[in-house]
Structure 1
Amino acid sequence: FTLRLSLYQVIALQMRFYKNTSWREDHGVASSRHLHCSSPDTDEQMWFRLREDTGLIAAVQGILLPRCVLVLCCLLADYFLPDHVPDASVRRYDGAAWHERAFTRWDSAQFLTVAQDGYREEPQLAFFPFFPGVIREIASWTPLTLPWSGVVLNLLLSVVIGIALLKLTIVCRVSASGEQGTRTSIPPAASPGASEPRENSSLDFGAIVRLHEKLWFWVCVNPALVFFVVNYSESSYAAAHFTACWLLEKGSNVNVLLPAIGFFLASATRANGILSLVLIALHPDSNPLCGKWMRFTVLATAAVLPFLLVEGFAAERFDFSHKVPSTSGVLFDEASSTADRWLFLPEFRLQSAYATVQEKYWNNGFLRYWQLRKLPNFFLAGPMLWMVYGYVAPAVAKKLIACFQPQSGEEKSITKRERLLLRMVRDPFLKYELHTILLVTFVFLNAHVETITRLAWASSPILYWLALRPDLQSFF
């Protein structure tokens, strides 16, 4: 908790410096134009240096090694610090060796149990199958145990997260500055407070090289870092989601099946992957109102299909006409006579099995977590709520208001609805801001509020960009 607060303090200080342009000049943070003009290298030479500085080897050195240090810290903390004794209802993973106990706590025990035995109990339906399925295969093909298979997988995926975030950031920046040209007939969105067009629209290679250092720092050290290392699905989801977003931003230059695979894997990892529909619908190359029905259908189906498959699997495992779920939570307990009858309600088929399990075992639901005794958890999520509602939400409000204000040179015949649509789908950052607000608001109202931190840092590139902007204002 102390580490998380200190990290939020670092972000807060950077936000303050972002508003102080004199600070940037005094410390030698030059503008994009100056950096580009002072470089004697050709574009080919700078791209070669860029690939060297931001390639796989650099990612391993900048991301993987610090993550390995954190794994060592987890082992030392588990060995020297006394264990917390949780409630008896919390799942335990039996048989873990002393060097595995640090990676088998809380939800890690659920994922490891699913990987080992499959779905045998109702609460396990809340944990989607991709992550436990992968670590089961790794453990079967390598000498690693299940706990260490998950840790090694998360370490390797951290490199994928860093590279995908870097490429996504560069593509969005290029799209925002119009350096790839207008991909559709949509005019550039008016963004209040955005910088004026630069005199030299070439890419700032120096800023990109500095970008990967700052970006990978926040990949390695973010307030939800521990969940990216232990056997949680945050790393798997972030790797698939950020890669899919990067491929989505590349537009028609990439086969539609590639981002579709990414969104499919993300939704097969976590239920909030279904919120990717916001990103898909607002992208100009997959917006159905722009005539991109085929691409939208493929991507939307990929994002929704895993959730529907999990629902179908739950319906198949629960035989409604013969089987009765026991009060102990074990599936297909024939001997149970005092079972919960929720499976046999007529409206069950209109309900989500995932939502029902979340409500039954974790007390999730609209405002159900809003209790006085849960107030400390709201304080724990306070910094994240402050970042989203204090910075992201006001920026989105200004952009949406500007959508109804005509710009100079814009056709007068265009309607307000068309202007709103065109500017929303053309702004490369707006859809990620809306996605972040929607995710945080949904969790804030319907789920355990303390999970906002890890869910948002695994789903939203906006948080990383918000931490980067003070040092790289010229890049954005």
Structure 2
Amino acid sequence: MYEPRRKVFWFSILSRLFVILLQLLFNALSPDHNADAFISPINSNENISFYDNLVNILFGGLTRWDAQYFIHIARYGYTYENTLAFFPLYPMSVRCIGRILKKILFNLNDQSVIIIAAVLINFICFVKSAVIFYDLSRKVLGDKTTAYKAAILYCISPASIFFTATYSESMFAYLTFYSMMAAIKNSRFVCLPIGLSGIVRSNGLVNTAYPLYIWMQDLLFFSLPKVIFEYRNRAVRAAVFSEILNIFAGILWIFNTILLSVTPFVLLQTYNYILFCTERANTTVIPAHVINYGTENNLIMPGGIIKSTWCADTIPIAYSYIQQKYWNVGFFKYYEIKQIPNFFLALPILYIMLRCIIEYFIENKYQLYRLKFLKTKKYEKITRLKRYPVQMFPFIIHGLFLTIFCILFVHIQVSTRLLGSASPLLYWFCATILSHRIKNNDRESYEDRDNMFSRWRIFLMSQKEYTKRDKLILIYFLGYTIIGTFMYSNFLPWT
């Protein structure tokens, strides 16, 4: 019999194989759209063998749109200013794994090895993220069945194609869920996954709020009340000084945690400044065909005479400047009539996120008013009388912040993959309203007996009746998975 955690593990593998097969099929059946997008310059002297063509046939549909930037960075580094919008941990990991694979797959050229490495890393990161997401969901929701359903829905996320393509979503989701779990467990090393997530995607820095929240719980409702009680009680007044020292130790810990979490991001910005704002950068290590492409397209390159305006800023951070210059990202800048289709594309996930947040506040208004959400120290088994346990509070605030940010600033169609890889709320909300319920010895079970003994079969495949809500959820999740894979693999506009 397969426990839910093992079922999630195997189904996550099945879902990735399905997406890879789907993009292969769609890429073969439909010609690529001639998109006006960045394509990493090709080295005309690079040998292309039969095996290289085979790799392109198998995985070419996973290298569209922004994937070209990640592939370019993995091969050549940050050779153009616009590549600074893509953070380094994922492409540098791809480069390292690619060098190892090159010694094994010596018949392949560098481009093919990079593609294989990128797909392999995403495959592994997604499977690990699905398993840790189940653990996180069970810890917060306090219910095995709901956690299982949420993890299954995560495996067929509307952003599935981006979890498989050569994007950083899978790595970011894994590090984000790992950060959340480490914060809940009050791990001393929570700064490590948070710091790494901050050099995968810029919104990884927001994850520092989780250990800060846990520390505030300790301080406001455990440490300070204990100091007051011991001070008033003469019998234990001598222990007050020791408790005050513990509070200062906690302050130092959270300070160090936040400092270490943001240090990788700061070092990255320092590297960017040295590379593009000083004359120390050595362009001789950049291949000639890459330099020629940059010259022909008027791209700013390291060590050049032309310096960008962000170099003269008081705090020279390239990210926001580049997002605005090359992608027109900014406050309400995407609100144009021609972008209405993209708003419809993002509407489902924005609706789900906002509805989940509003329902949480309505259901827990008494606990929130009395600040009981801060008093809940331990994530214990929670009664299922409530859909939204009060312990969800930090995830609700995190999801609210990201949702508002998506509505106001980003290219709105990106909301699906940004929220789908950074917040659990999409999957938790949909899991709570699915009709799947199986009673086993008067207890709710995660699967029926036949499915428990199968690696691959899940309730979505064998359910006899589907409610209207079930159908809407499946249409949204599977529809975006299939249509998104078709659109993306053929260089057509998608999220």
TM-score (norm 2): 0.67
Decide whether the 8 Å contact of 1:281 with 1:288 is kept in 2.
no
Aligned twin of 1:277? 208
Post-superposition offset of 1:394: 4.4
Q: Which residue, 232, 237, 247 being the options, matches 2:167?
A: 232
Q: How many residues align?
A: 368
Q: How does 1:251-330 map to 2 (within 5 A)?
A: 251=186, 254=187, 256-257=188-189, 259-284=190-215, 291=247, 292-320=250-278, 328-330=298-300
Q: Which moved more, 1:214-223 or 1:109-118?
A: 214-223
- 1:53 paired with 2:3, answer yes
> 1:218–1:119: structure 2 CA closer, same or farther, 3 Å change rule?
same
Post-superposition offset of 1:212: 5.6
Show CA shifts across 1:262-283 (max 9, x none): 1112112110001113323222
Decide whether the 8 Å contact of 1:93 with 1:104 is kept in 2.
no
Aligned twin of 2:234? none
- 1:331 paired with 2:266, answer no
Q: How does 1:168-187 map to 2 (within 5 A)?
A: 168-174=136-142
Aligned twin of 2:314? 349
Post-superposition offset of 1:247: 1.7
Q: How does 1:156-195 map to 2 (within 5 A)?
A: 156-174=124-142
Structure 1: stretches of 5+ with no match in the other structure: 1-48, 175-206, 407-418
Q: What letter matches 2:135 in structure 1?
A: K
Q: How does 1:203-214 map to 2 (within 5 A)?
A: 208=144, 210-211=145-146, 213-214=148-149
Aligned twin of 2:60? 101
Decide whether the 8 Å contact of 2:215 with 2:254 is kept in 1.
no
> 1:133–1:340: structure 2 CA closer, same or farther, 3 Å change rule?
closer
Post-superposition offset of 1:73: 0.9
Q: Which residue, 422, 442, 450 being the options, matches 2:374?
A: 422
Show CA shifts across 1:117-143 (max 9, x none): 001111111111110011111111124
Decide whether the 8 Å contact of 2:310 with 2:317 is kept in 1.
no
Aligned twin of 1:395? 360
- Secondary structure of the residue aligned to 1:84 is coil
> 1:137–1:223: structure 2 CA closer, same or farther, 3 Å change rule?
same
> 1:344–1:63: structure 2 CA closer, same or farther, 3 Å change rule?
closer
Post-superposition offset of 1:106: 0.7
> 1:399–1:350: structure 2 CA closer, same or farther, 3 Å change rule?
farther
Matches of 2:335 and 2:167, distance apart in 1:
25
Post-superposition offset of 1:233: 0.4
Decide whether the 8 Å contact of 1:288 with 1:296 is kept in 2.
no
Decide whether the 8 Å contact of 2:277 with 2:308 is kept in 1.
no
Decide whether the 8 Å contact of 1:171 with 1:250 is kept in 2.
no
Matches of 1:373 and 1:423, distance apart in 2:
48
Q: Which residue, 1, 10, 13 being the options, matches 1:64?
A: 13
- Secondary structure of the residue aligned to 1:82 is coil
Aligned twin of 1:133? 92
Matches of 1:219 and 1:398, distance apart in 2:
25
Aligned twin of 1:12? none
Decide whether the 8 Å contact of 2:24 with 2:61 is kept in 1.
yes
> 1:154–1:93: structure 2 CA closer, same or farther, 3 Å change rule?
farther
Post-superposition offset of 1:393: 3.3
Q: What letter matches 1:85 in structure 2?
A: N
Q: Which moved more, 1:285-294 or 1:115-124?
A: 285-294
- 1:361 paired with 2:361, answer no
Aligned twin of 2:401? 438
Matches of 1:271 and 1:260, distance apart in 2:
15
Show CA shifts across 1:255-310 (max 9, x none): x11x2211112112110001113323222477666643233223322432222122
Q: Which residue, 175, 178, 183 being the options, matches 1:243?
A: 178
Matches of 2:403 and 2:41, distance apart in 1:
30
> 1:403–1:83: structure 2 CA closer, same or farther, 3 Å change rule?
same
Matches of 1:170 and 1:230, distance apart in 2:
28
Matches of 2:256 and 2:428, distance apart in 1:
29
Decide whether the 8 Å contact of 2:8 with 2:152 is kept in 1.
no
Aligned twin of 2:490? none
Matches of 2:41 and 2:173, distance apart in 1:
25
- Secondary structure of the residue aligned to 1:99 is helix
Decide whether the 8 Å contact of 1:424 with 1:431 is kept in 2.
no
Q: What is the RMSD computed on CA atoms of the aligned residues?
A: 3.0
Q: Which moved more, 1:228-237 or 1:395-404?
A: 395-404
Matches of 1:436 and 1:102, distance apart in 2:
31
Matches of 2:163 and 2:218, distance apart in 1:
32
Identity, % of aligned positions = 23
Decide whether the 8 Å contact of 1:104 with 1:231 is kept in 2.
yes
Q: What letter matches 1:422 in structure 2?
A: L
- 1:465 paired with 2:428, answer yes
Q: Which residue, 158, 171, 178 being the options, matches 1:223?
A: 158
Structure 2: stretches of 5+ with no match in the other structure: 43-47, 106-112, 224-246, 282-293, 379-389, 438-443, 446-495
Decide whether the 8 Å contact of 2:275 with 2:303 is kept in 1.
no
Could you say which structure has the greater relative contact order, defined with CA pairs below 8 angstroms and 6 or more residues apart?
2
Q: Which moved more, 1:230-239 or 1:444-453?
A: 444-453
> 1:451–1:137: structure 2 CA closer, same or farther, 3 Å change rule?
same
> 1:279–1:123: structure 2 CA closer, same or farther, 3 Å change rule?
same
Matches of 2:377 and 2:274, distance apart in 1:
40
Decide whether the 8 Å contact of 1:396 with 1:434 is kept in 2.
no
Matches of 1:276 and 1:229, distance apart in 2:
23
Matches of 1:247 and 1:133, distance apart in 2:
25
Decide whether the 8 Å contact of 2:217 with 2:375 is kept in 1.
no
Aligned twin of 1:202? none
Matches of 1:65 and 1:130, distance apart in 2:
26
Post-superposition offset of 1:441: 0.8
Matches of 1:462 and 1:298, distance apart in 2:
29
Aligned twin of 1:90? 38
> 1:447–1:376: structure 2 CA closer, same or farther, 3 Å change rule?
same
- Secondary structure of the residue aligned to 1:269 is coil
Aligned twin of 1:120? 79
